[in-house]
């Protein structure tokens, strides 16, 4: 069941392409909500709306926003022409998109012939917070980078302020939304055609794959959406790309299962990923380095994947120079340094593959 309430839109809080945020009056209480124009049309202050208030009522991590289901005032909303692929299929909010593979697509011929990533390095992460640091590092070296978003978390790419800013500043060349995620520069049916579209249509030198904001975790070994990382790494190998697993590393997280290399990454590398991947590690002080090496040994990973240690410090200066106040799980660079150093190492290993470094 979902919780539905009526409300009246009050003051507009923000507006980006295809998305608006409002204060909303619900039972004489002022709260916040989001309008996705691709789903419910162009709404404005004073409109009476129906809202899905479930996540906020459950105190889940949605930023405290409700989501508008429909305007009570609207008479009709017609869909735009083109495309037959439905995302969010068989739900009341199913949306029609023009996928890059469809017959109507101007890229149809390209996708008919697309069959290989041609040794393109693919950085496969789990958290959306990995995207900006990786992209900024690669952009600083004039490397053309595309983002492929999975449906493991937020489904509308418009929810991501990060993607909006990276595109506006030319740091990424474009985005592809795959599976049931939607709103990218290109829409794709699945992760395979999504990565091929990033290579063949967006002409990316490096591809970054990750979910949108809001990874789902349950505190169990298998119950987290980041398990998709292993399946994507397998797909990269199948498509003749270079799979690079971006590990989730932190010594700031108080939860033991996320200390050092997160249990999410260890599960993926040990049990889900069936191909040999490149795994970057940051240079760390001896105690932390020993902890990580012991984790690798305990999970019998040293002979399954290729681990490489890099100095990731360059990424810190880049983030500061670009003025990006990036956080992960609410922690900034100073609070979770190892997480960001890992991303610097990951970006550099992608650069080395482009330079034909022998691994």
Which of 2, 19, 1, 21 is closest to 11 using CA atoms? Answer: 21
pLDDT value, residue 359: 62
139: left (phi over 0), alpha (psi -120 to 50) or beta: alpha
Q: What is the pLDDT of residues 299-327, one digit of tens each?
A: 999 999 999 999 999 999 999 998 888 88
> Which pTM was predicted?
0.95
Q: How far apart are CA 346 and CA 129, in angstroms?
A: 14
Q: How far apart are CA 323 and CA 334, in angstroms?
A: 15
pLDDT value, residue 62: 67
* Fold matches, 4-71 and 108-354: no
The tens place of each residue's pLDDT in the chain, 359 residues long, gives: 899 999 999 999 999 999 999 999 999 999 999 999 999 999 999 999 999 999 999 988 667 899 999 999 877 777 777 888 999 999 999 999 999 999 999 999 999 999 999 999 999 999 999 999 999 999 999 999 999 999 999 999 999 999 999 999 999 999 999 999 999 999 999 999 999 999 999 999 999 999 999 988 888 989 999 999 999 999 999 999 999 999 999 998 777 777 789 999 999 999 999 999 999 999 999 999 999 999 999 999 999 999 999 999 999 999 999 888 888 888 989 899 999 999 999 999 999 999 887 66
User: What would the two tokens of residue 33 be?
Assistant: 């909500």
Beta partners for 310?
Answer: 282
For domain 108-354, which CATH number applies: 3.40.50, 3.30.230, 3.30.2000, 3.30.110? 3.40.50
pLDDT value, residue 358: 66
3-state helix, strand and coil shares in percent for the chain, rounded to the nearest 5 = 30, 25, 40
Domain 4-71 belongs to what architecture? Beta Barrel (2.40)
DSSP 8-class letter at 176: E
Q: How far apart are CA 19 and CA 187, in angstroms?
A: 18
Length of the chain: 359
- State the DSSP string of 307-334: EEEE--THHHHHHHHHT----BTTB-TT
Q: Which residue has the tokens 């790494």?
A: 233
Q: Could you state, in order of their start, the residue ranges of all structural domains in the chain?
A: 4-71, 108-354
Report the helix count and the strand count for the chain, using DSSP H and E. 11, 17
pLDDT value, residue 38: 92
């Amino acid at each position: 069941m979902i919780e539905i309430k009526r409300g009246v839109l009050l003051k507009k809080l923000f507006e980006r392409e295809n998305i608006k945020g409002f204060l909303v009056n619900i039972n004489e209480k002022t709260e916040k909500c989001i309008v996705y124009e691709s789903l419910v049309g162009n709404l404005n202050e004073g409109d009476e709306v129906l809202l899905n208030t479930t996540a906020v009522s459950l105190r889940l991590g949605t930023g405290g926003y409700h989501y508008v289901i429909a305007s009570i005032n609207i008479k009709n909303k017609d869909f735009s022409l083109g495309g037959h692929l439905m995302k969010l299929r068989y739900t009341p909010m199913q949306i029609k998109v023009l996928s890059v593979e469809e017959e109507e697509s101007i890229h149809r011929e390209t996708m008919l012939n697309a069959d290989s990533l041609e040794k393109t390095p693919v950085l496969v992460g789990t958290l959306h917070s990995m995207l900006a640091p990786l992209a900024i590092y690669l952009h600083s070296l004039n490397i053309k980078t595309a983002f492929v978003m999975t449906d493991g978390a937020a489904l509308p790419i418009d929810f991501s302020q990060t993607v909006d800013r990276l595109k506006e500043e030319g740091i990424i060349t474009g985005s592809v939304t795959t599976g049931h995620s939607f709103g990218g520069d290109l829409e794709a049916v699945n992760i395979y055609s999504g990565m091929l579209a990033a290579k063949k249509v967006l002409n990316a030198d490096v591809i970054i794959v990750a979910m949108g904001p809001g990874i789902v975790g349950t505190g169990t070994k298998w119950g987290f959406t980041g398990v998709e990382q292993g399946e994507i790494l397998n797909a990269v190998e199948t498509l003749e790309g270079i799979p690079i697993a971006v590990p989730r590393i932190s010594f700031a997280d108080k939860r033991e299962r996320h200390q050092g290399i997160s249990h999410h990454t260890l599960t993926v590398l040990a049990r889900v990923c069936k191909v040999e991947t490149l795994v970057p590690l940051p240079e760390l002080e001896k105690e932390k380095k020993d902890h990580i090496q012991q984790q690798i040994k305990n999970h019998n990973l040293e002979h399954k994947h290729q681990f490489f240690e890099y100095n990731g410090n360059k990424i810190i200066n880049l983030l500061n120079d670009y003025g990006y106040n990036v956080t992960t799980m609410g922690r900034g660079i100073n609070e979770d340094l190892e997480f960001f150093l890992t991303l610097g190492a990951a970006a550099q290993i992608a650069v080395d593959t482009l330079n034909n470094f022998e691994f």
